[in-house]
Amino acid sequence: MDSTLSRDYTVLRLDEMEAAFGGLLVRVRASLGLSSFGLQVADIPPNSGDAYPEHDHAHDGPEEVYLLLRGSADLHLPGRVVALDPETFVRVGPRTRRRLRSGEDGARVLMIGGMPGRAYEPQENSALGGPETLPCPTASSSLVAGSAPAQLP
């Protein structure tokens, strides 16, 4: 007897997905074939300082949610530093600057993005085989020569 249940699903372990930026970012959305919202994992080395890009999404509009999966990290926001943990979700609006900084254990952080009031449009750097570029014109990172100056402490 044939089943009428849909078989539209993808199952991958994180280590089977495409990584970019020297392993700093795992392209979860693209690896799973997801198109309705953004989904990435940042694997940040210990004591990352300014390596993870300080950025906002004023230029393209998505809001993001951050959740620490393991390790230790702070999310730096204007006027506040949030110590992340596996039970604390943080939503950040498109125009708000943000930067992740890992602690001595490094950090694995889940990031989910969506477009308030309109359809999600993936950034070109999130596609499989996509360019390893920072699409935010005001992004700041110690890994990118000539990037914008940092605005957060």
Confirm whether 127 is domain-assigned: no
Confirm whether 96 is domain-assigned: yes
Query: Structural domain of residue 40, as residue ranges?
Result: 14-117
Confirm whether 125 is domain-assigned: no
Kindly indicate the confidence band of residue 151, based on its pLDDT and cuts at 50, 70 and 90: confident
CATH number at residue 98: 2.60.120.10
Confirm whether 23 is domain-assigned: yes
Confirm whether 133 is domain-assigned: no
Tokens of 12: 């991958």
- Number of separate domains in the chain: 1
Average pLDDT, the chain: 92
Confirm whether 29 is domain-assigned: yes
Q: Which among 26, 18, 45, 30 is positioned nearest to 122, based on CA atoms?
A: 30
pLDDT at 3 over 70: no
The verdict on pTM exceeding 0.75 is yes
pLDDT at 2 over 90: no
Per-residue pLDDT, 41: 98
127 CB burial (10 A radius; 0-12, 13-18, 19+): middle
Q: Which among 38, 146, 52, 40 is positioned nearest to 94, based on CA atoms?
A: 38
pLDDT at 88 over 60: yes
Confirm whether 140 is domain-assigned: no
Q: What is the pLDDT of residues 17-58, one digit of tens each?
A: 999 999 999 999 999 999 999 999 999 999 999 888 999 999
